[in-house]
A = this chain, B = another copy of it.
């Protein structure tokens, strides 16, 4: 009789043989509006059994991929720095083993832990960022480590011209001004993504890919802390993911599912499907 192992569906490859390693960061302490993203990774794992492993979009099956799911980290609520430290350590451990770390948030701040680890190995890396929010504040009510500042902190690591933002439709005026000078911001949708990913794919530059699921329209994804009307559709997101997957992705994350905010369960189901499609696309 065996103990009860719970993974994202089809992600039961042993660690040693895996190409991709999932790890969850159930953290949302800096969320300023509606918390609950801490339950995102666990809900995706739990509800993934309502999903098929086969994708008719890509005609691929998760059972043919090699993915290991290492479960959720046990993070300290109330200390952003401690949480980021543990996330970074886990990402480094995965990178050291020559595997791709795929982080499941949690709030978007968790990305910084993973980006720090990837950046040490790939200082020239680019970041492709799908989000409703610019996340470019310098601080939020005095805090430098906040979900609203995460891309600004990333910018301090990777510098001008290395951050590519899509679907952005919310931020204060100052963030949009900052973006004009320092990042490659595409408002509202994916316009320009095809050109960008073709260029990045040609160059072979390492790419960190961070998906804040609130880039989706709230009609498709209501279960998130700060829903922003006017987002992209699910098929648009799938197509965009496949574009990015053609570049040299060296790290990735999926964030900001707050499952309790959507009692219909549709948001969790959509997040599971996004993850399946991302895993399939990243498995060559």
Contacts and interface: CB of A to CB of B under 8 A. Distances in A.
Interface of A: 1-7, 12, 15, 21, 28-36, 38, 42, 45-46, 49-50, 52-54, 56-57, 61, 68-72, 74-80, 82, 93-94, 140-143, 145-146, 168-173, 176, 187-188, 217-220, 222-223, 226-230, 234-235, 238, 260-266, 269-270, 273
Nearest to A4: B71
Which of A1, A33, A169, A227 has the most CB atoms of chain B within a 10 A radius of its CB? Answer: A1
B4 A56 contact: no
A265 B226 CA distance: 9
A74 B172 CA distance: 18
Contact of A56 (B61, B74, B187): B187
Given A35-B36, A75-B141, A229-B273, 6 more contacts: A1-B93, A5-B5, A42-B46, A76-B141, A79-B143, A229-B266
Q: Which 10 A-B pairs have the closest CB atoms?
A: A4-B71, A30-B78, A219-B219, A222-B264, A35-B35, A229-B234, A29-B29, A218-B266, A222-B266, A76-B141
Given A218-B269, A234-B229, A265-B227, A173 B54 contact: yes
A148 to B, nearest CB: 10
A45 B142 contact: no
A93 B72 CA distance: 32
A218 B263 CA distance: 13
20 contacts: A1-B21, A2-B71, A4-B5, A29-B29, A29-B77, A33-B49, A52-B172, A56-B169, A78-B80, A78-B145, A78-B146, A218-B264, A218-B269, A218-B270, A220-B229, A222-B265, A223-B264, A227-B266, A229-B273, A263-B264
Contacts of A79: 80, 142-143
Contacts of A140: 76-77
Contacts of A235: 230
Nearest to A35: B35
Contacts of A52: 170-172
Contacts of A273: 228-230
